[in-house]
Amino acid sequence: MTRPAWGLAIGAACALGTQPGSAQRVTIGPQFVLASYREVSSGLQYQGAGFGGAAVARWRRFSAEAVVTRVTFNPSGSTATLKSFDATQIDAWLAYDIAPYASLEAGLTHRSPSPEFGAQSVGAVRVGARASSEIGPGATVSFRADYLAAPQFSGGGHASLSLDLGLGLDVRLAGRLHAIAAYAFQHIDRKDNPGGTAPDTPAPIQQSLARLGLGVGF
Amino acid sequence: MRHCGWLLVLVVCLAPGAGAQTPQNADLRLALQAYDNLDFTRAITLARRALGVRMSGADQARAYELLGFAYSATDSQVKAVDAFKQTILLDPDRELDPSKISPKITSLFYSALGQVLVVRQLRVDSARFVGGQGTVPIRFTVTSPARVRTRAVSGRTTVLIDSSVATGTVNLRWPAQLANGDLVPAGDWLIIVEAGAAQNSFSASQAVRIAYGSVDTLPHLTSLPGYQELPETEVAPQTWRPAGLAFLYTSGALIGTLGLESTTLGSGSKRELSVVGAAALVAGVVMTLRKPAPRPAEGNILYNRLLHEQLARRNQEIAQQNVTRRKQVELSVAALPKPSGGR
């Protein structure tokens, strides 16, 4: 994912968030993050915690969401040679409501580790749908399923099936204050062929991420 | 036999003028006593003698009425009718009670009534109306066909109310306006009815008092009669839908996660899903158990809005009507005690 693409996505989200209008609603706030990361085999397991921030803007039938998280992953398996690494992930969505309870969305996702070779760096385009329901005054629960198209990896390879599932909860606590909880499960069926001659070697990537935080609505 | 029959009839009838004040003329009093004693000849003699001297109009009318009764009892019908004609001319509003007076006397009385020209029973009803929007009812009876002119007179001001050939009962409506359309000035007015036919003429009058007043304005409405505002919020019935939706969405995430998990990577701890899923389920249960918050009732809001618009429109109309009413005058017309009959 190139820098201009990220700039375009974030700029679009900000543009939606700053437009005047009575139907406009913006929620922004910090989040605590829990995450699990696996790669290639059951021996590469990491768990970690971190922090992040999310911003959601709504304008008429359009909505935009941007999430940035930074998680420190520590090895959780028995392999002693694994080292910790930090992962910064940026997700962005643009959605259009096709019904009061359903919307189509498209966006980007990008995760980069630090140090660079601690894990695979991943970038992809999201295309999917989201269903949401109001379960009470100011309380909304949502479910999201995105297909990650055209994934790119720092270590090369390709993925025929890459999906991202999400569960979201937004509860207005009082006035402008919201409590936000979100779960995202990302499965990338990556295959790699280092030598170029042998058959493709499966090198799947799997991450589950939970975000818990507060948001202030405007 | 014939005389006896009439005597019986007259005995059961009241004497003429019964219940009225005692006449001042002695001969008339004696005549009434003679009539009561069925001495009709003496009653006629005494009544005629009484008419030979000066008497009040009421006594004169009473004397002629006694003569009419006595002549009727003695079968002198022409004389009876003449006597009744004099009675009617002296007191045009005089009536006989058919339930107390014999039919023969009554028929002679009405025969006399048809042979004279008088204006009877002139009545001006009391009225209260906004100037230009109402009328004063005037009614009277003309006993014979005649040209009848009805006027209202106050000082030097004369207003012609009606002029027509009429007989029988006449009903008029007077708008209490001058010829130029202005309202008549407040004060005492005399409604004069003049009837003329050939050499005969008669007039009757009724005094009325006309007063001005301000027209009452209409109060503004705070609600429309028969229509009440509806509550603009309603509380939805408590359901398990929130918990059900939370369970459905969490289950979807769980099933999706389990289905997508790679076997080569092993089974994860589901820590993240547990945290967020539990939060969603708790939120669903809390929202289920929580008393539903009142929500806007769109239908009622629309109804109330229409009601307010209707009320505002009605008050606007009332305000416009009040502007007009403040420029109007209310006329009160009251009949005054009637002066002496006519001539």
DSSP E strands: which ranges in chain B?
A: 119-124, 127-130, 136-154, 157-174, 187-197, 200-214, 233-235, 294-296, 329-335
pLDDT attached to residue B101: 85
Distance from CA of A20 to the nearest CA of B (A): 25
Read off the pLDDT of each residue in B301-317 and give the average, rounded to a whole number: 95
Mean pLDDT, consecutive 10-residue stretches, chain A (218 aa), reads: 48 42 71 91 86 93 95 79 88 94 95 85 94 91 94 86 94 90 93 75 90 91
Q: A202 and chain B: CB distance < 8 Å anywhere? A: yes
| Higher pLDDT among residues B17 and A64, named by residue | A64
Confidence band for B339, pLDDT divided at 50, 70 and 90: low
d(CA A188, CA B105): 129
Q: How high is the pLDDT of residue B76?
A: 87
On whether any CB of chain B is under 8 Å from the CB of A212, the answer is: yes
Angstrom distance (rounded) from CA B200 to CA B329? 41
Answer whether B277 touches A (CB < 8 Å).
yes
C-alpha–C-alpha distance, residues B43 and B169, integer Å: 35
Which residue in chain B is spatially nearest to A187 when comparing CA positions? B260
Hey, CA dihedral for B66, B72, B74, B79, is it positive or negative?
Answer: positive
Contact B277 A136 (CB under 8 A): no
Hey, is B40 helix, strand or coil?
A: helix
- Range in A18-27, B194-203, B286-295 with the lowest mean pLDDT: A18-27
Report yes or no: A173 at the B interface, CB cutoff 8 Å: no
Whether B244 shows a pLDDT value over 80: the answer reads: yes
Closest residue in chain A to residue B258, using alpha carbons only: A185
| Per-residue model confidence as pLDDT tens digits over B116-168 | 899 998 999 999 898 888 899 999 999 989 999 999 999 889 999 999 999 99
Residues of B in contact with A210 (CB under 8 A): 271-273, 275-276
Chain-chain contact of A135 with B264 (C-beta, under 8 angstroms): no
As given in the structure block, the two tokens for residue A36 are 């699990």
pLDDT tens per residue across span B59-117: 899 999 999 999 998 888 899 999 999 999 998 888 888 788 888 899 999 999 888 89
Q: What is the largest CA-CA distance in chain A?
A: 62
The C-alpha of A51 sits at a distance from chain B's nearest C-alpha, in angstroms, of: 14
pLDDT digits (tens, 9 = 90+) for B165-186: 999 999 999 999 988 888 899 9
CB distance B283–A202 less than 8 Å? no
State the Cα–Cα distance between residues B267 and B276, nearest whole angstrom: 18
> pTM to 2 decimals?
0.52
Q: Min CA distance, B226 vs chain A (Å)?
A: 35
Average pLDDT, chain B: 86
CB < 8 Å to B241, chain A: 135
